Structure 1
Amino acid sequence: MQKHILLFTVLCAALLSACEKTIDFKGDGTAPMIVVNGLVVPGKPVEVSVTKSQSFLADAYLFEVLTDAKVDLYVDGEFAETLDLVEVESSEIISHYYPDYSEWAFRGQTIAENGKTYRLEVAREGLQSVSCETTVPDEVELLAVDTATELIPVNHGTQELWAIKIKFNDNAENENFYRVQVDQITGVNKNHYLGEKENSDTIILGEQLALYLDLVDPVFGSTDEANEIVTGTPDNEYALFDDTQIGGREYTVKVGLPHNYNPYRPYPLDEDNGNFLERKIVFYALSPEYYEYLKSATNHFYYADDYFSEPVPVYSNVRGGMGVFAALDSVSCSFISGTYPMEGKVYVKDYRYGGYGYGY
């Protein structure tokens, strides 16, 4: 037994010493490429961002927008229009850290429709031209949404679970891909938030996007326990599933939300204080491109820091370039406890209150 331990120790020492070798990067990286990112949504004009890739050694947070690119849109194989360059509102995070930054996108007049295929041909002088294509999924046929509080067994007793059951009709003519998402907005009277008893006219809003869900339904797949012991197995962070086990029929998919995802609970409801809790349940039908992108993103980030795993590239359907051009359709419903909005109250966002889940 001691010989085995000694041999194992020698092998570990050899491996660790081998990891100390320094390999100089010569700087001959991949040439810059066109990056296209966009989601086609029914009822909205087609819009994409077009930027230039940069070296992983670059310290710039923002990518260069290719404002002089030419973006042609084709619908079901026929030329539709050349998209216009428009200035768009920057995300709140970018606006906070880069107040002078202008964000641009290419937008057309074509309104996206279910079942149609959209292709982009993007060209810019000095860079290789690229193309990408996606088909908008059929309209989601949501039949019912039920919620209830359930007790589920855990290691040391039971846990309260907000069980969500979503009944929908799967189209048998196509291969379909889905995602379940739950967002949460909480409103707390400013004085209550500060520990005071009197009511204020100001309500502090906290937003949590894509909360972590308990995927209790078999359509989400199961964890490989044997592999989990050795290397771990990525969670299905985006609550993705396909219709392999459904087969073109009505189906009720079930997810659970732990009650501890409710930071509102300590604050009482009444008709005057303005405290409320809103939970928004969103059911998506995804194009194959978006489904593959989210799956690859899960694996990419999970294995990024694992030195014993092969790197996982993030999926791209941009031929000749990078990025993802995909489509989705969605339907949602909200459940509100309390009154929102309330007349006479002022609502202010506070990003220290709340947070984000897996919001890709």
Structure 2
Amino acid sequence: MNKKSIFCIILLCALLFCACEKEIEFKGDVKKPVLVLNGYLTPDENVTVHLSKSRFVMDDHTPYVSIENASVELYVNGVLKEKLVYGNEGNYAGQYRPRIGDEIEVRASAPGFEAVKAKTGIPQAPVFELADSTLTHTVKDVSSQFTDDPGYTFKQWEHVNKIRLRLKEEKNEENFYFIKAEHNLYDKDKSIGKELQKVELSKVLKGNISDTGNPLEEVLWGEEDSGYKRQLENIFSDALVNGRELFFNFEYYENLKTVMKRPNGNEEIINAGGPFTKEYVIALSSMSSDYYQFVVSAAKAYNVDENPFVEPVQVRTNVENGLGILGAYTTSRFVFRFEKYTEGGYSIQW
């Protein structure tokens, strides 16, 4: 094929793609901006909410604008408790820390906007407790990782701590949950690091069996692998496990020490990694219904946003005359500490 033919093909393709482009004028109604109220309440913290202004659905580039001159009132069980005070970047905070069973209502108004309000209830803490724990020690030869000299040997002491936790479900109650885990590292009670751990319920729930004989993770999520399900892999409802005990299985691995043995028989600890204390935290939270529905719908909406062949998903809101979500959650925590010493020894504190 000569150069002239190639040039003609490229020019034809360019014209073809240009011909496919067409600007479509938006003929719908451009609605007046409304207040967006978001708040996630818990007995662990004082009430705080965020206020901003909504933006036009087709405006992807304008940033959300925080509302700084609003009047925000907190009602507890129908009684005005306090006015929330503006801090910064659209955040309004109070002095009241919610209690389990409270009905919380937030009312907000600002010049140029219709007043909004939202309600939520503070759920009961889940009954989350230790069911079983096993500690397994192993010693393995890792010489090949360190040397080719047959006169030296390297052995590694390890343990695996298997934790089994139980969730006791009440019958005839609609409950929604999310679970998370983190590691906190301390040096003589001084925090030196924190790491959030990935929790996949399809793995930690293995061993639970449904009435039909299928593993509960299949009953809860099915076998379909979709984007939004992966985003919600630590969130679940009790719709299909109402009144059942659920067991969560976690495994924690620790390298205790590595010992080198010389040709003359002398041994030396070359890697113990101490002293330090590692705190393991496994937290299970009960969520309000609106909070759960918001998280699920938001994940679905995010995953269909770039697909022109899928109907858009309406994100859940419980804010009257506005947008956003006022949700609540209550958390139960299982905590244990693993303390490691310089010489490779350790202790576990429940």
Deviations 1:64-115 (CA, angstroms, capped at 9, x unpaired): 2222111122222222222222x2xxxxxxxxxxxxxx43422223321101
Residue 108 of structure 1 is matched in structure 2 by: 94
Residue 174 of structure 2 is matched in structure 1 by: 175
Deviations 1:263-308 (CA, angstroms, capped at 9, x unpaired): 9999954334x5x655421101111011111211222223233332
- 3-state DSSP of counterpart to 1:208: strand
Alignment of 1:16-165 (within 5 A): 20-25=21-26, 29-55=30-56, 56-57=58-59, 59-61=61-63, 63-85=64-86, 87=87, 102-144=88-130, 146=132, 165=164
Larger Rg over CA atoms: 2
Supply the distance in 2 between the matched residues of 1:305 and 1:107 (Cα, whole angstroms): 36
Residue 284 of structure 1 is matched in structure 2 by: 285
Q: Which amino acid aligns with 1:308?
A: F
Q: Which amino acid aligns with 1:165?
A: R
Supply the distance in 1 between the matched residues of 2:310 and 2:20 (Cα, whole angstroms): 15
Supply the distance in 1 between the matched residues of 2:61 and 2:116 (Cα, whole angstroms): 26
Give the C-alpha shift of residue 175 in structure 1.
1.6
Supply the distance in 2 between the matched residues of 1:304 and 1:268 (Cα, whole angstroms): 50
Is this contact kept in 2: 1:238–1:294, CA < 8 A?
no
Supply the distance in 1 between the matched residues of 2:75 and 2:20 (Cα, whole angstroms): 50
How many residues end up aligned between the 2 structures?
278
Residue 253 of structure 1 is matched in structure 2 by: 247
Supply the distance in 1 between the matched residues of 2:70 and 2:166 (Cα, whole angstroms): 44
Is this contact kept in 2: 1:180–1:238, CA < 8 A?
no
Shift of the 223–167 alpha-carbon distance from structure 1 to 2, 3 Å rule, reads closer
Give the C-alpha shift of residue 256 in structure 1.
5.6
Is this contact kept in 2: 1:147–1:164, CA < 8 A?
yes
- 3-state DSSP of counterpart to 2:230: coil
Is this contact kept in 1: 2:228–2:299, CA < 8 A?
no
Supply the distance in 1 between the matched residues of 2:108 and 2:312 (Cα, whole angstroms): 29
With normalisation by structure 1, the TM-score equals 0.63
The yes-or-no answer on 1:270 pairing with 2:264 is: no
Is this contact kept in 1: 2:199–2:234, CA < 8 A?
no
Supply the distance in 2 between the matched residues of 1:232 and 1:143 (Cα, whole angstroms): 31
The yes-or-no answer on 1:242 pairing with 2:237 is: yes
The yes-or-no answer on 1:207 pairing with 2:202 is: no
Q: Which amino acid aligns with 2:182?
A: D
- 3-state DSSP of counterpart to 2:320: coil
Supply the distance in 1 between the matched residues of 2:20 and 2:67 (Cα, whole angstroms): 40
Q: Which amino acid aligns with 2:323?
A: M
C-alpha root-mean-square deviation of aligned residues, in Å?
4.0
Is this contact kept in 1: 2:256–2:272, CA < 8 A?
no
Q: Which amino acid aligns with 1:112?
A: P
Shift of the 187–54 alpha-carbon distance from structure 1 to 2, 3 Å rule, reads farther
Supply the distance in 2 between the matched residues of 1:283 and 1:126 (Cα, whole angstroms): 41
Supply the distance in 2 between the matched residues of 1:31 and 1:125 (Cα, whole angstroms): 13
Percent identity over the alignment is 25
Give the C-alpha shift of residue 338 in structure 1.
4.7
Deviations 1:166-218 (CA, angstroms, capped at 9, x unpaired): 21332336321112212345689xxxxxxxxxxxxx99746335544535355
Supply the distance in 1 between the matched residues of 2:271 and 2:293 (Cα, whole angstroms): 43
Supply the distance in 2 between the matched residues of 1:232 and 1:263 (Cα, whole angstroms): 35
Give the C-alpha shift of residue 34 in structure 1.
0.5
Supply the distance in 2 between the matched residues of 1:339 and 1:295 (Cα, whole angstroms): 41
Shift of the 135–19 alpha-carbon distance from structure 1 to 2, 3 Å rule, reads farther
Supply the distance in 1 between the matched residues of 2:99 and 2:227 (Cα, whole angstroms): 41
Q: Which amino acid aligns with 1:271?
A: G
Supply the distance in 2 between the matched residues of 1:337 and 1:83 (Cα, whole angstroms): 41
Residue 9 of structure 2 is matched in structure 1 by: none
Supply the distance in 1 between the matched residues of 2:77 and 2:321 (Cα, whole angstroms): 21
Q: Which amino acid aligns with 1:73?
A: L
User: Runs of 5+ in structure 2 lacking a partner?
Assistant: 1-16, 137-159, 209-214, 259-269, 342-350
